[in-house]
């Protein structure tokens, strides 16, 4: 498994495929390496020679970027978390990027500075998602 920690430029990406408005992917690649994965097309957008499932780039600044990127979100929009990776693959238990992003969403929504309704849909095959139910 090739693991790289990277600084991303943005964490919220405008989506034309869903009504949510945005996608959030705290990782590039995925440890699950599912043979049925629809996100393996993402490999061509990376600088990896390894097959899909054998590399993960960790966007170590993901939570901080969310606060910055959230300013462009309109009231009522939302995000699909884990559209091109499983946001709860095994590395999440170490890095906790998904948890930190969810915490930032709560903080920003409660802030009187940027009051917005913002919904999140999560796609995962991991029971680690139960950790963040609070």
CB within 8 A of 94, min separation 6: which ones? none
List average pLDDT for each run of 10 residues in the chain, which is 134 residues long: 95 82 94 83 81 93 94 87 94 98 89 72 95 92
Task: Report the pLDDT value the prediction gives residue 22, as an integer from 0 to 100.
Answer: 94
Task: Report the pLDDT value the prediction gives residue 45, as an integer from 0 to 100.
Answer: 79
Task: Evaluate whether 29 touches 56 at the Cβ level (below 8 Å).
Answer: yes
When the pLDDT of each residue in the chain is averaged and rounded to a whole number, the result is: 89
Task: Report the pLDDT value the prediction gives residue 119, as an integer from 0 to 100.
Answer: 86
Whole-prediction pTM value? Answer: 0.90
User: Per-domain residue ranges for the chain?
Assistant: 2-125
């Amino acid at each position: 498994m090739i693991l790289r920690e990277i600084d991303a430029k943005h964490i919220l990406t405008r989506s034309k495929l869903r009504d949510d408005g945005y996608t959030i992917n705290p990782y590039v690649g995925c440890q699950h390496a599912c043979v049925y994965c629809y996100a393996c097309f993402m490999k061509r957008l990376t600088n990896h020679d390894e097959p899909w499932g054998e590399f993960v780039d960790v966007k170590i600044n993901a939570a901080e970027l969310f606060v910055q990127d959230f300013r462009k979100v309109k009231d009522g929009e939302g995000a699909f978390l884990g559209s091109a990776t499983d946001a709860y693959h095994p590395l999440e238990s170490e890095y906790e990027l998904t948890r930190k992003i969810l915490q930032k969403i709560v903080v920003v929504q409660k802030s009187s500075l940027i009051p917005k309704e913002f919904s999140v849909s999560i796609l995962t095959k991991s029971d680690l998602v139960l950790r963040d139910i609070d």
